Structure 1
Amino acid sequence: MSSAERLPESIVCSAIEWQMRLRAHAGSPELQRQLQDWLYQDRRHQLAWQRLQQMGGLFQSSQLPDAAQTIPLLQRAEADLGRRRTLKLLGLGLAAGSATLLATQTPPAWHADFSTATGERRRVGLVAGAEVVLNTGSAMDVQGDWLLLRTGEALVEGQAWQVRCRFAECRGRDARVVLRERDNASEIRVERGEVVVSTSGGERRLLAGDGVSAAPSGLSVLGKGPLDPFAWSRGLLVVSDIRLADFLVEAGRYRRGWLGCDSAVADLHLSGVFRLDEPGMMLDNITHLLPVQIIEHTRWWVRVVPVA
């Protein structure tokens, strides 16, 4: 990528939007994952982000307001001098240096035996004695007779199989199971059959309907919860009395960009069946179930707010 390459203003604005999102939600693993998705869509995204990071102190000193105020400003044609200065510097390019992208690490999925992109579900077929379906943003390896879930979520079923998660090993017998990696725990939920879950602290036998969370502190029982953990394998998001904020976190796994809500509506509850392959309709349906409206700053930044 040439350091002198001129970039479209739309891409530059998007890069600045991502900077604002990271400022507003520092330390969010989900936001970091979404940023990586955006970066790898187009090499120009990476170049814009690299230039923005190289600017470093200049961007910090431009005294931009918070994200909610900054993004509309950046999208207006007649923006302030600070924005035009930033766009000019980014568009003309800066000297190539040792600065790198914030997300320099290659995503785990790129090196995995099987993987899915954001919003993708993939039936892997029969591997290591199991039929496997990967959910959105997931990666899995085959290591001899073992499957290794590196990230994301997988449905595993078969007569006899073995899966390693981050915090547990699972051995299934005539079992159908969903395994999901979260930031600090591995979740295992059994729909059919028998599964033995092993950790450094011991073993536990699970039967149909059981679920556990494996963490460094040990195993804990998972209750039913507001989310059907198996519905995604049928292309559905099925929820029962779930908080709107929690629903949006789950729905956000299946689309690129940021999806969130105003604190005034975060604790509203909803139930329903939503199609994962129709993310736009999914959000529209929310407005029929709750007194909310959808605000799209860009296609990558969607916010649910109270009805005006």
Structure 2
Amino acid sequence: MFRRRPDPDAEALKLARAWMARLKSGEATTDDAAAFRAWRAADPAHEAAWAETVRLWEASGAAAAAVRRRDVAPRRAMSRRMVLGGGAVAASAAITGLGAVRLGLLPAPADLLADHATGTGERREITLPDGSRAALDARTALDVDMAPGRRRLTLIHGAAVVDVAGGLSPALEVRAGPGVARADAGSFTIRQIPVPADDPGGMRRRVVCIAGSVSVTAGETRELLPGQAVDYDDTGCGPVVGADAALETAWRQGLMVFRDRRVDEIVFELNRYRPGRVILLDDTAAARRLSGVFHLDRTDEVVAHLERMLALPTRDLPGGIVLIG
């Protein structure tokens, strides 16, 4: 069960939005981050106001994506002419501020404030205060909340493998989106995955049990044993299915391994490791399924593979941005 957050008051919302503006301005300092943390901790109303501000921030991104899907077909011919005719400069100029954050070209506010965050192509292993370990995939943000009687991680976004130190109480829990995974010992992965473009649900999360057992709650509860997985989103948990743990953790060995994966999922994962951004413009191509094995230090080979398999043109823009379709 989740505790209901208090409703944010108007003054707290005003301050939260001011903090959001400051943190995404590109001028925030470590002192700003410390002051922000203190402000959030000072009053439950501040935390509620920040949660509401982040929700609106994320909703604005979903709305922009919906508009883009609606408009992309009639604009496609014009957009291509713009790029070919020298509009790349105008396009790159548009990718500033909020747009740059949305495209992953600048860090999101949450990344500046997370206890641990990895950048593009960066992977990191950390030891937690209770002796557990977490391996963070690229573009991952994780908060750690450890205290007597509490072992809690929050995966803000990205993916992680968690090796749980056993023999301790309570169980270690990892919160991600609308759900939570709990384990007394063992190992599991938790990952953010995009849903199809025509689904308004945004992101879903996938938990894969590697060793021991893990309990996943998002409305309902699912119990996982090694080699089992479950996806969940705002609507609840899906069914328990089989999973290949080696495939799910191939990134730890420097590999991208895709087996019958949707192209939009492949592009989403590719953008964790490649500077700039690959943007898929063709919704039909997004739903196609491909397989492949690639080295994380040769991500341009993935772009070439997509271009070849999808038989779609690509356009290179400044800043490492590639349009496919």
TM-score (norm 2): 0.58
**Structure 1 residue 293 displacement after superposition:** 6.5
Structure with greater Cα Rg: 1
- Cα 1:222/1:295, change in 2 over 3 Å: farther
1:58-97: CA deviation from partner (whole Å, max 9, x where unpaired): xxxxx9x8322222223589xxxxx7xx99xx9xxxxxxx
Aligned counterpart in structure 2 of residue 74 of structure 1, from 65, 68, 86: 86
Q: 1: CA distance between counterparts of 2:144 and 2:282?
A: 42
Q: 1: CA distance between counterparts of 2:176 and 2:183?
A: 13
1:275 alignment partner AA = H
Query: Quick check: 1:117 aligned with 2:102?
Result: no
Q: 1: CA distance between counterparts of 2:86 and 2:299?
A: 26
Q: 2: CA distance between counterparts of 1:226 and 1:67?
A: 41
103-112 vs 275-284, which moves further: 103-112
Partner of 1:166: 177
Q: 1: CA distance between counterparts of 2:301 and 2:216?
A: 38
Partner of 2:64: 27
Partner of 1:20: none
User: Equivalent residue of 1:119, what SS?
Assistant: coil
Conserved 8 A contact 2:261-2:289? yes
Partner of 2:40: none
- Cα 1:283/1:159, change in 2 over 3 Å: same
1:71 alignment partner AA = V
**Structure 1 residue 232 displacement after superposition:** 1.8
Partner of 1:211: 229
- Cα 1:234/1:221, change in 2 over 3 Å: farther
1:168 alignment partner AA = G
**Structure 1 residue 235 displacement after superposition:** 1.8
**Structure 1 residue 223 displacement after superposition:** 4.0
- Cα 1:242/1:190, change in 2 over 3 Å: same
Q: Tell me which protein shows more helix as a share of its residues.
A: 2
TM-score (norm 1): 0.61
Q: 2: CA distance between counterparts of 1:262 and 1:235?
A: 29
146-155 vs 208-217, which moves further: 208-217
Aligned structure 1 segments of 4 or more residues deviating by more than 6 angstroms: none
Partner of 1:153: 159
**Structure 1 residue 261 displacement after superposition:** 5.7
User: Equivalent residue of 1:221, what SS?
Assistant: coil
Q: 2: CA distance between counterparts of 1:251 and 1:153?
A: 13
User: Equivalent residue of 2:248, what SS?
Assistant: coil
- Cα 1:304/1:69, change in 2 over 3 Å: same
**Structure 1 residue 117 displacement after superposition:** 1.2
**Structure 1 residue 208 displacement after superposition:** 0.8
Partner of 1:12: none
**Structure 1 residue 209 displacement after superposition:** 1.5
1:161-213: CA deviation from partner (whole Å, max 9, x where unpaired): 322222222222332211123534332111221112234x3433211122122
Once superposed, what is the RMSD of the aligned Cα atoms?
3.8
Partner of 1:283: 303
Q: 2: CA distance between counterparts of 1:242 and 1:109?
A: 28
Q: 1: CA distance between counterparts of 2:108 and 2:282?
A: 33
User: Equivalent residue of 1:185, what SS?
Assistant: strand
**Structure 1 residue 127 displacement after superposition:** 4.1
Q: How does 1:212-251 map to 2 (within 5 A)?
A: 212-221=230-239, 223=241, 228-251=247-270
Aligned-pair identity (%): 25
Partner of 2:11: none
Q: 2: CA distance between counterparts of 1:120 and 1:301?
A: 19
Unaligned runs of 5+ in 1: 1-24, 32-62, 78-82, 91-99
User: Equivalent residue of 2:64, what SS?
Assistant: coil
User: Equivalent residue of 1:28, what SS?
Assistant: helix
Q: 2: CA distance between counterparts of 1:239 and 1:157?
A: 24
Partner of 2:20: none
Unaligned runs of 5+ in 2: 1-61, 69-74, 102-106, 167-171, 194-201
Partner of 1:302: 322
Conserved 8 A contact 2:114-2:143? yes
Q: How does 1:3-42 map to 2 (within 5 A)?
A: 27-28=64-65
- Cα 1:72/1:185, change in 2 over 3 Å: same
User: Equivalent residue of 2:182, what SS?
Assistant: strand
Partner of 1:253: 272
Partner of 2:199: none
